[in-house]
Structure 1
Amino acid sequence: MTSRPPLPPFTEATARQKVQAAEDAWNSRDPERVALAYTEDSQWRNRDVFLTGRAEITAFLRAKWERELDYRLRKELWSFTGNRISVRFEYEWHDASGRWWRSYGNEQWEFAPDGLMARRYASINDLAIRPEDRRLRA
C-alpha cells in the first residue's frame, strides 16, 4: 500500500501542502497523475456527476480537459480538521469556439489514513468572461 503524505490528522501547514499538491496536479492536466491521489474506490460528486473509483475519475478528467482547453486552476484552503479539508477554487478555460469561462467552486475532501482522498464533493458555477478579463495564466 502506498501512502500519500502529508497524512491526517492535518495541521494548518500540512493542509496547505495538500491543497498546493492538488493544485499542482490538476494544473498538469494529466488524468492519470491526478487520479493517483484518490483511493481505488474514491467517491466523487462533481456538479451533477457522481463517480466511484480511479477508472471513472480518470475517464471523467480526460473528457473534462478535452472540453476545457487551456485550463488553469487556483485553490485556497478554506478550513480543515482531522482527516477533512475544505477548499475554495477558481479556474479558467476556453471551449472549442474560443469562448472563455471562469469557474468558481468549493470542495469538501475526506482522506483515508494513508493520505489518499476517499471522498471529493465539488459544487461549481461557471461565468462567461472576456479574454482580457482573465486572471489565471500559465
Structure 2
Amino acid sequence: MARHVRDAENAWNRRDLDAIVFGNTIDCHWRDRVHFLWGREQIRAHAQRQVCREIDARVLLEGWAEGVGRLSLRFAREFRDDGGTWFRVYGSEDLQLDAAGLVTRRLTAANELPIAEYERALRWPAGARPDDHPTLSELGF
C-alpha cells in the first residue's frame, strides 16, 4: 500500500499527467466531488484543468485501509488560485484496483476552504514531498 500511495502523491506533486492517467485502467471510472469521469481521456482532461487551476499545489496522501483489490486514502491539498487566495482541501479516496494494481474505480469526497498564507502546512519546493516532511497524522490533520 505504501508504495502505491507515495507513487500517486508524487504524480500529483510533480504534475505528471502521464503518471496520473496511466495509473488507471483505460475504462476507469472516477467520481471526483461533483465530476463523473469515464476513461483515461476524461481523466487526463480533468487532471489538466486541475493542475492549471491549482497554482503551487501540494498534496499529502496517507493510506487509511486496504483489502483485496481495495485501498482507502485520506489527503490534504493546498494551492492558490490565480487571484492569490490559498485553499486547503481535506478529503478521502476509495480505490478499486485490478490485479496489476491499476485503478479501476476512484471515488473522491472532499471539502475545500480558503486559508491564509500563514496557515499553510504543506511547504516544500515544487515536486515530490521530501521524506522528512511530516505526515498527515503528524500534522494533526
The TM-score range, normalised by the shorter chain, is 0.7 to 0.9
Amino acid at match of 1:119: R
Q: Which residue of 2 aligns with 1:97?
A: 83
Query: Tell me, what secondary structure is at the counterpart of 1:66?
Result: helix
Unpaired runs of 5+ residues, structure 1, are 1-14
Within a 5 Å distance, the mapping from 1:1-138 to structure 2 comes to 15-138=1-124
Q: CA deviation at 1:114?
A: 1.4
Q: TM-score, normalised by structure 1?
A: 0.88
Query: Tell me, what secondary structure is at the counterpart of 2:2?
Result: helix
Whole-Å separation in 1 of the counterparts to 2:5 and 2:36: 22
Q: CA deviation at 1:103?
A: 0.3
Whole-Å separation in 2 of the counterparts to 1:132 and 1:54: 37
Query: Tell me, what secondary structure is at the counterpart of 1:33?
Result: helix
Amino acid at match of 1:30: D
Query: Tell me, what secondary structure is at the counterpart of 1:98?
Result: coil
What's the CA shift string for 1:20-40, capped at 9, x where partnerless?
111111111122221010000
Amino acid at match of 2:21: A
Amino acid at match of 1:90: A
Whole-Å separation in 1 of the counterparts to 2:100 and 2:14: 23
Q: Which residue of 2 aligns with 1:3?
A: none
Identity %: 38
What's the CA shift string for 1:82-106, capped at 9, x where partnerless?
1100000000000000000000000
Q: TM-score, normalised by structure 2?
A: 0.86
Whole-Å separation in 1 of the counterparts to 2:10 and 2:16: 10
Q: CA deviation at 1:110?
A: 0.5
Equivalent residue pairs, number: 124
Query: Tell me, what secondary structure is at the counterpart of 2:84?
Result: coil
